[in-house]
A and B are shown apart, each in its own frame.
Chain A
């Protein structure tokens, strides 16, 4: 599903690689935590999966495609198979909940009838039924993140990337978001989540990949956040 083969990424004008000689494989249907301190290479890893960056050396395979050889015009098709959620939600403030989710379908050219059918479905999955007409500033942080997850999931992607999705939320709300991501994972979507939240990682007991200075220092199924705490 996702394969990193000796991947090194050095950003221009930087000497230290953001990711160095990283090799790992993520199978279909897995739930993977990506942990490590800031600057350890988590974001670079996620950006490489999304093909927002190209590796300096090594190969990245995502959904059977060799991203080194993927031509530019095929990138949108790849991203339609990958949902993305961020710490800062990235909702459009002047659109309602419904419109924010529908936007993701409109811009890839889905017909209106399809949008009218699937948006309410996904809003029900994330637990926002009845709030279709609200704007982001009328919602709590947790609800806003649910909208973002609905937007990422509405096209039923094969992979969901969550970059510190609970970073802006209180612990109680975070648990709800984690339950939602778990549910999405159980619906068959591979979930890759970067996080600093030790409690969540320890509770979930899923695969943990730890990065440090751009190296994979730990890859553990049913792991915990870290030993050195």
Chain B
């Protein structure tokens, strides 16, 4: 196999078919960028889950005077009930990692701090907020264990899982990611079709050469390799552009726009970009090579 001959064939082919080559490069770049961004969104959701699930708590709100839940008909929670709840929580270790009792006063102070600049503060009285147990679970997905054990018990008004609120948000992000992924896959299909067409045109425009190659006994590999490499090179360039797009997304959209405005949450780091980039190259070059291979089997038979 003479590398120089193959390389010059590839170069000639790409130049002769310049518009098609550009079209392939651009579609590969766009579809893979979308693909990469959708993967980045998923990584972002995972990062946020890690970040927030560490901080979420299950809150057990205790009955206060005037609570109208059925479990609160006995009026305000009694000392005995409260002690029993605490003992039961203790028995749930090691699932329950931390137990923290928050009195009405503490709840009010915390509320004031949280909404320090909001007019809501003035409309809430000192006793309006219920006392509660705040507990942290070793595995936040095991919320149901706590909920089934405590909700509806006399003296407990409500068992509340912060995770469920977050999950709605994550589901929204997940939906966005799925849409991006579907668009990316559709684009990738379009890319494959375009590569197939490009190969057909290339095979047709070089049918003189290839027919002579067949006659003088060139091996299939020798005949097809330039075409395969052409597809791989143009797809490779497109994939590199997509990696560039991904890096831009990270530096500009995430680091410069999103991160300063949303400081309360974590954002994906460079390791996610580093993990996605090779995947983009692999998918780009692999797809094009497969598309080219099957096209050539049809159009460049022995």
| Interface of A toward B, CB cutoff 8 Å | 50, 72-73, 75-82, 84, 90, 92, 103-104, 106-109, 111-112, 151-152, 155
Contacts and interface: CB of A to CB of B under 8 A. Distances in A.
B302 A90 contact: no
B217 A106 contact: no
Contacts of B65: none
8 contacts: A73-B219, A73-B220, A79-B215, A92-B212, A107-B222, A108-B216, A109-B219, A112-B2
Contact of B217 (A72, A92, A108, A151): A108
Contact of A155 (B209, B213, B216): B216
A81 to B, nearest CB: 8
Contacts of A75: 217, 302
Contacts of A82: 217
Given A90-B212, A92-B212, A108 B218 contact: yes
Contacts, number: 59
Contacts of A107: 5, 212-213, 216, 218, 222-223
Closest 3 CB pairs of A and B: A80-B217, A79-B217, A107-B218
Interface of B: 1-2, 5, 208-209, 211-220, 222-223, 302
Given A76-B217, A79-B215, A79-B216, 4 more contacts: A78-B217, A90-B211, A107-B222, A109-B219
Contacts of A73: 219-220
Contact of A76 (B5, B209, B219): B219
- Residue of A76, A78, A84, A112 ringed by the most chain B CB atoms within 10 A: A76
Contacts of A92: 208-209, 212
Nearest to B1: A109
- Residue of B5, B212, B213, B217 ringed by the most chain A CB atoms within 10 A: B217
Contact of A106 (B5, B208, B215): B5
A90 B209 CA distance: 9
- Residue of B208, B209, B219 ringed by the most chain A CB atoms within 10 A: B219
Given A106-B2, A107-B213, A76 B208 contact: no
B182 to A, nearest CB: 40
Residues of B contacting A: mostly: helix
Contacts of B208: 90, 92
A80 B216 contact: yes
A79 B215 CA distance: 6
Nearest to A148: B212
Contacts of B217: 75-82, 108, 155
- Residue of B5, B209, B212, B215 ringed by the most chain A CB atoms within 10 A: B215
B212 A109 contact: no
A91 to B, nearest CB: 9
A152 to B, nearest CB: 8
Contacts of A104: 212, 216
A34 to B, nearest CB: 18
A229 to B, nearest CB: 33
A72 B212 contact: no
- Residue of A82, A103, A106, A151 ringed by the most chain B CB atoms within 10 A: A106
Contacts of B5: 106-107
Nearest to B208: A92
A120 to B, nearest CB: 18
A76 B212 contact: no
Nearest to B219: A76
A151 B216 CA distance: 9
Contacts of B219: 73, 76, 108-109
A111 B211 contact: no
A117 B2 CA distance: 17
Contacts of B215: 50, 79, 84
A112 B8 CA distance: 14
Contacts of A112: 2
Given A84-B215, A90-B208, A107-B213, A76 B220 contact: yes
Nearest to B215: A84
A108 B219 CA distance: 7
Given A76-B217, A80-B217, A108 B222 contact: yes
